[in-house]
Structure 1
Amino acid sequence: CLPETRGELRSTAKETADLFLQHVFRLHGLPKSLVTDRGSQFTSRFWKALQKLLGIDSRLSSAHHPQTDGQTERTNATLEQYLRCYVNYQQDNWVSLLPLSEFAYNNGVQASTKETPFFANYGFHPRFFPPVIETSEVPAAEDWLQELTAVQQLLLQQLDQAKEDYKRHADKHRQPGPEIKVGDRVLLSTRFLPSHRPCRKLDARFIGPYPVVAQLNPVTFKLQLPRSMRIHPVFHRSLLLLAEGVRPDADRPAPPPVLVDGEEEFEVQDILDSRFHRRRLQYLIDWVGFGPEERSWEDASTVH
């Protein structure tokens, strides 16, 4: 996990590359793929070019669903939960607890690999603090070790509890739906799409259907969207509705127009005919998402 900020300022793409060198490369070498959010440093031309030169498959989290980067989300939630149980009242000692928290997490078995991160990365399990059996001639050293051992044991206990709590909370918001496969046609939720209509409550809840062209993982899909929509075409399963039984001529809301330089634009499905009208070339346009009754003659100069 890379820190994305320097104090109050967000890191630039170049600074993020330096952080990658310090915190990732020196410990693990180059990864084959890297999952990030859609921060400006990760979508910049510099970062994309660097990833390509290094042979790293850059994977951005799906639009409007940061849970795509699930490992980081779950890790942060877990660390927060079992830091709470030992942080002091002033909450000013949590930084000193991070090394023990990270050690406890990395020594816990992960559901995805059935191994601990330590063993998966290094091939062995590092030693814990040994139980304090003998007394020492220096009480301060003995007290320090006893305190750290107690914190370590508590954090290990909280680790399993935190994982269970996170899974239970996440499952409350998951509802299994029909399986979606490449080639299926789906409706896309307008929940996170920009709308320029006066009342979103009266706007269409879904638009489409659009064909599924790729399944990136069990819950993330890539759609073939009209170019006029100008949005990232990868979406989480929760934003899609299988278009089973939806007739091609069913009464569905048309896709929203896009704003280009402040003007609404609609996408052309096909040019059906042409003519000269009042000395101007015009095309008969079939519009994406609209029926035959909406076809219209448009000046060629306005069609792009």
Structure 2
Amino acid sequence: MESDIQRYLNRLLHEKRYSEHTVNNYRRQLERLLAFCHDAGYSNWQQITTQDIRMLIAKRHRQGASPSSSALQLSAMRRFLEFLLSEKKITVNPAVGVRGPKKAKRLPKNIDVDSLNHFLDQMPEDEPIEVRDKAMMELLYSSGIRLAELSAMDIDDLSFSDQSLRVLGKGNKVREVPFGNSSKKVLSLWLKERNNFAKNSDEKALFLSQQGNRLTNRAIQQRLAHWGKKLGLNDRLHPHKLRHSCATHVLESSSDLRAVQELLGHASISTTQIYTHLDFQHLAKTYDAAHPRARKKKE
């Protein structure tokens, strides 16, 4: 059984070109599997059952392994057993269909209101590219749209009369979202400058490169990172951070989860509920600062 593991690891290293680090991670997981087989008195791989795989994952989880570590363990065993299946050492892969512990949802990072307002207010508007970049950032923060939704936006998707955007979201679902006065102001400036960027009258993209083409997702990411660094933000600025900040700040002010769901274009309210954790953090800080019985006494 040890030789089967070594053959598999050699294949990963020399044929599949996996890194030594990855192969060593797999080695540790498969050594745990081998130790389990020895303890159970198994003499061949065919004796391993689906219940054994579940027990192994559950045991590691109880010992404090993170969901990511459990996922790695499960993946290593599943792929190794798939290898044994191809070698006809087993007739069925007992790891197929076994699920590891769910990963805890990460709380999105956001920028606090004062810092973000200060950042956007100090954005220059002297050069056409500065106007364009500020318009993109104002729109991302004002409406909470995704990066792909911003890059796909056409001029016709803008409505200044009611300050709304027509957004083509995931699953080709169209929604309308509002944008604020700050966005309206800088978008108006950008549309005047855009004519100098457009090389082709048929180009409908709202945001253009200096070559007159629709800005790509990557280009937008680079422009935001550039301004974040230039204007002294502590963390790297990216489109999702502005989207998360929009959602968080709206929820903190309104507590209307359904409205935030509509704004972000989430198909399920459960996706939006991650922001309730952020909202509670805000509430807890406000409570600690404001409630007379919550203040810590000086020692």
Give your verdict on TM over 0.5: no
Structure 2 length-normalised TM? 0.20
Choose between structure 1 and 2 for higher RCO, CA contacts under 8 A separated by at least 6 residues. 2
TM-score (norm 1): 0.19
